[in-house]
Chains A and B, each alone.
Chain A
Amino acid sequence: MIEFPMVSFENVTKRYGALTVLDNLNLTIARGEKVAIIGPSGSGKTTVLRMLMTLETIDGGVIRVEGEPLTHMERNGQLVPADQAHTRKVRAKIGMVFQSFNLFPHMTALQNCMEAPVKVLGLSRDEAEARSTELLEMVGMSNRRDYYPSQLSGGQQQRVAIARALAMRPKVMLFDEVTSALDPELVGEVLQVIRKLGAEHDLTMLMVTHQMGFAKEFADRVCFFHSGQICEEGEPTAFFQNPQNERSRQFLRAVLEAG
């Protein structure tokens, strides 16, 4: 049996009007790989994750998840735009954590985690509660399970959001600057949870981040984006110590100076 890559972007192009945000992107991610996406503002990092989460349409190319096209489906040997059922089937493998948490404000932490497993996966309430409790435990939030999001700090909300995404048992987790909206003293607790997740070798992770230290320590691979293209990619230690591309060097220098 051929082992498909977990995710592959094949010549993917994304435009907003006249602006080409991603230009013929090619990116292949192996099962269990942890990829850090870095780059200057506006380089298209968020767009990559949003396309994979099907929050954005694409204007060219194909995205595949375990070999199966995400935005398309095969019909009579041809790729045609995917219908809702197909999209939902493939999308089930992907989960996402947002910069602004996006917890449901009218539900407690536990209800936030249980909602989709019950409604989408059809779990019984008992099963969903057991699963959610376990995950809230994992992110260190089991003692706050009955709190509403507005009763929680940013770091706590983000940890609940991580548990909520995991409750759907995705194979790929997307993190879009998940610590950027947090006060500095709360960043550590969220990164700690992500580290713990990283130890699960089956979970594939794509993370857009401005925390270079974390990217270096955590990722198997770093992709440096610039103007909608991957300018340079490689193993983190090598990339950070000895970047090859002029743009990467500039970017790292600027980041270092900013402290």
Chain B
Amino acid sequence: MGIRGLAGVLFLTVAVIWYLSGLEGYKIFVPGLAQGAAMTLQITAAAAVLAVIAAITAALSKLYGPAPLRWLAITYIEVFRGTSALVQLFWLYFVLPVFGITMEAYEAAVLGIGLNIGAYGAEVVRGAIISVPRGQWEATIALNMTRAQALRRIILPQAFAAMIPPWGNLFIELLKTTALVSMITLGDLAFRAQQMNQTTMKTVQIFTLVLLIYLAMSLAITIGMRVLEHRAARGILRARAA
């Protein structure tokens, strides 16, 4: 679907949420769910920033770092991809305090989910970097550029375009993973929904709203990434269009 089509679906989704929020059976859930949605968004945004930073750092370390750094990166990637996000959150919030390391639930949530998605992202970044043709590296050597200059100015900008679509998937994965934070006492969208469901038993109303809110958020992510993709492609392939 094109960007316009997606924007249309997003508009429709938001319109339906708006309409339902006004109805008698739904109204009472709106403030609680809005608070939950705000928490979900906040964790998603913070964890996404952390994931990107962790992914780039780990990918560059694995590709070009000295041996110890490379092994550290490989260990990070394998541990965080090889165990479930839920177990990671439990470790950060419940197990680490046993060893004297304590953090707020919110910090544990951002750290756990950010590092989890970052581990998958590291492989995306690495794949995009090594997909840049070898001739590009050779040209930078022939121009006597340093490796850092080559990466920053030539290789990463080209790899960037290749990583946008897979990052779109990862951000949506990230959004869905945030539902786990209710297990470490945070009041996100999923948590509020369950809580209200237990007290009111209005399952249909509550979870209809929740579904639509998650859908709206992931559509917004998809659209954002598509716009980025479009921009990046224009930079590199401006050609044929012109």
Interface residues of chain A, those whose CB is within 8 Å of chain B, are: 53-55, 88, 91-92, 94-96, 98, 100, 102-106, 115-116, 119-120, 148-151, 164-165, 168
Contact = CB atoms under 8 A, between A and B. Distances in A.
B142 A95 contact: yes
B141 interface: yes
Contacts of A92: 144
A120 B149 contact: yes
Nearest to A150: B239
Given A115-B153, A148-B238, A150-B239, A120 B138 contact: no
B82 interface: no
B49 interface: no
A1 to B, nearest CB: 27
A119 B145 contact: yes
A30 B242 CA distance: 46
B4 interface: no
A40 B153 CA distance: 37
Given A102-B139, A104-B139, A119-B145, A151 B236 contact: no
5 contacts: A55-B138, A98-B135, A105-B236, A120-B144, A150-B238
Interface string B148-159: 010001100110
B142 A100 contact: no
Given A88-B144, A104-B139, A148 B158 contact: no
B205 interface: no
Nearest to B161: A106
Given A106-B157, A120-B145, A168-B144, A151 B139 contact: no
A151 B144 contact: no
Given A148-B239, A150-B239, A150-B240, A104 B136 contact: yes
A164 B143 contact: yes
Contacts of A96: 142
